[in-house]
């Protein structure tokens, strides 16, 4: 099915208008935080009993990808697979306290990692479609505004704003994915769209996941507003990738949704910190990745499978399960960003 450019322009126009409204609200965020939190208590809000074990029960805030888990285990020389190049070493998952400042710094760092991914895609000439080029630039501007808002909120709480990308998410997740896309030949453009869709979905899930654990109404409201924009980014990309997969709004009459189909929704549960890497047979990114444009505020918190890159000697392409930041990819208060 051919992409409806008029519908796409309408979606992008509405999305950008929603982003401007979000930015207007976020300008009041600092004031709201000051009103919510007494000056002597800013930056002191810790999630109750949030040690390594209890954190796994929170849900929605897990490891960034299967490869990230491997980077945080102790080395096991006898069982470790061969490594090409220098071994980067391993580090244990942090037991440092997680508070609002850490969550805000992590959210900002994730925004900067996504911005950096878009920049590298644009500079690598993986895509030539002017519509996508303009869209990626627009999304980058949105992410920059979100990162700035998270930085302002961090400073309002007495913390140091994060102004750089998340080194673990970029190094262990985005870098390998871009390397695989660079080698995917004629599938590059489709793989880039699938990557963008997955990153935007992951951004939405990141904000959705922290809403229950942020300690002030102002911060929760900010996470909701920013997360909804990220979800709409993913919906626009889903519409571009697979124009036939636009899921009708629940508010529309059933007759307007087209032919009746029987579907089953399975609750995949909350993501864990143990993602699983799988493989799939060779097929186009739009087919290999289950991508739908869902016009709703938030989506699932389950891991996001992404299949990109060339097939190996057995004719299969690697699928990576992307998950939201967790203990081993947070930007703690004593870490540079």
Flag whether 327 is in a domain. Answer: no
Q: What is d(CA 105, CA 121) in angstroms, rounded to the nearest whole number?
A: 24
Residues 319-331 have pLDDT tens digits of 999 998 888 889 9
Q: What confidence score (pLDDT) does residue 243 get?
A: 79
Flag whether 44 is in a domain. Answer: no
Q: What confidence score (pLDDT) does residue 10 get?
A: 87
Q: What confidence score (pLDDT) does residue 34 get?
A: 59
Q: What number of residues does the chain have?
A: 337
Flag whether 88 is in a domain. Answer: no
Q: What confidence score (pLDDT) does residue 297 get?
A: 47
CATH number at residue 217: 1.20.1260.10
Separation in Å, CA 144 to CA 68, 118, 139, 148: 24, 12, 9, 6
Flag whether 284 is in a domain. Answer: yes
The span from the first CA to the last CA of the chain, in angstroms, equals: 44
Q: What is d(CA 276, CA 289) in angstroms, rounded to the nearest whole number?
A: 16
Q: What confidence score (pLDDT) does residue 18 get?
A: 87
Residue with tokens 């699983």: 276
Burial of 148 (C-beta count, 10 Å sphere; 0-12/13-18/19+):
middle
Q: What confidence score (pLDDT) does residue 187 get?
A: 85
Nearest to 119 by CA among 143, 137, 138: 137
Q: Which residues does the chain have with pLDDT short of 50? A: 41-85, 249-282, 287, 291-297
Q: What confidence score (pLDDT) does residue 245 get?
A: 60
Residues 6+ apart with CB under 8 A from 207: 107, 223, 224, 226, 227, 230
Residue with tokens 């999304």: 139
What is the domain count for the chain?
1
Report CA dihedral (262, 191, 120, 108) to the nearest 10 degrees: 20
CA atoms within 13 A on the CB side of 278: 14
Residues 240-255 have pLDDT tens digits of 988 776 555 443 443 4
Residues 6+ apart with CB under 8 A from 37: 45, 157, 216
Flag whether 22 is in a domain. Answer: yes
Flag whether 85 is in a domain. Answer: no
Q: What confidence score (pLDDT) does residue 3 get?
A: 74
Give φ, ψ of 121 to 5 degrees: -65, -45
Q: What confidence score (pLDDT) does residue 93 get?
A: 60
Does the pTM of the predicted model rise above 0.85? Answer: no
Q: Which residues span the domain enclosing 67?
A: 5-38+60-76+95-322
Flag whether 45 is in a domain. Answer: no
Flag whether 175 is in a domain. Answer: yes
Q: Which residue intervals of 46-129 are DSSP H helices? A: 52-58, 66-70, 100-123
Beta bridge partners of 65: 322
Q: What confidence score (pLDDT) does residue 49 get?
A: 38
Nearest to 68 by CA among 167, 173, 170: 173
Please give the sequence-ordered ranges of beta strands (E in DSSP) within the chain, or none if there are none. Answer: 278-281, 304-307, 316-322
């Amino acid at each position: 099915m051919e992409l409806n450019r008029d519908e796409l322009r309408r979606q992008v126009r509405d999305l950008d208008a929603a982003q401007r409204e979000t930015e207007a609200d976020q300008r009041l965020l600092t004031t709201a935080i000051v009103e919510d939190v007494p000056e002597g208590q800013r930056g002191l809000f810790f999630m109750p009993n949030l040690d390594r074990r209890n954190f796994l029960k929170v849900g929605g805030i897990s490891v960034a990808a299967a490869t990230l888990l491997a980077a945080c285990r102790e080395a096991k020389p006898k069982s470790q697979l061969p490594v090409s190049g220098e071994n980067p070493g391993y580090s244990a998952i942090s037991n440092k306290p997680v508070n609002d400042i850490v969550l805000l710094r992590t959210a900002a760092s994730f925004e900067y990692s996504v911005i950096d991914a878009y920049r590298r895609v644009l500079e690598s000439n993986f895509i030539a479609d002017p519509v996508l080029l303009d869209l990626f630039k627009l999304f980058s501007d949105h992410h920059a505004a979100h990162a700035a808002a998270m930085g302002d909120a961090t400073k309002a709480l007495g913390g140091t704003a994060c102004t750089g990308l998340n080194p673990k998410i970029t190094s262990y997740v985005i870098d390998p994915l871009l390397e695989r896309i660079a080698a995917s030949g004629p599938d590059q453009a489709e793989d880039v769209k699938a990557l963008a869709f997955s990153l935007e979905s992951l951004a939405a899930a990141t904000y959705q996941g922290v809403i229950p654990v942020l300690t002030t109404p102002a911060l929760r409201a900010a996470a909701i507003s920013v997360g909804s924009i990220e979800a709409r980014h993913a919906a626009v990309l889903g519409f571009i990738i697979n124009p036939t997969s636009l899921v009708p709004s629940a508010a529309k009459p059933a007759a307007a949704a087209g032919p009746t189909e029987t579907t089953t929704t399975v609750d995949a549960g909350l993501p864990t910190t143990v993602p699983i890497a799988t493989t799939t047979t060779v097929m186009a990114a739009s087919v290999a990745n289950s991508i739908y444009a869902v016009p709703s505020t938030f989506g699932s918190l389950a891991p996001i499978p992404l299949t990109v890159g060339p097939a190996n000697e057995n004719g299969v392409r690697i699928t990576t399960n992307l998950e939201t930041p967790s203990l081993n990819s947070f930007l703690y208060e004593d870490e540079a960003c």
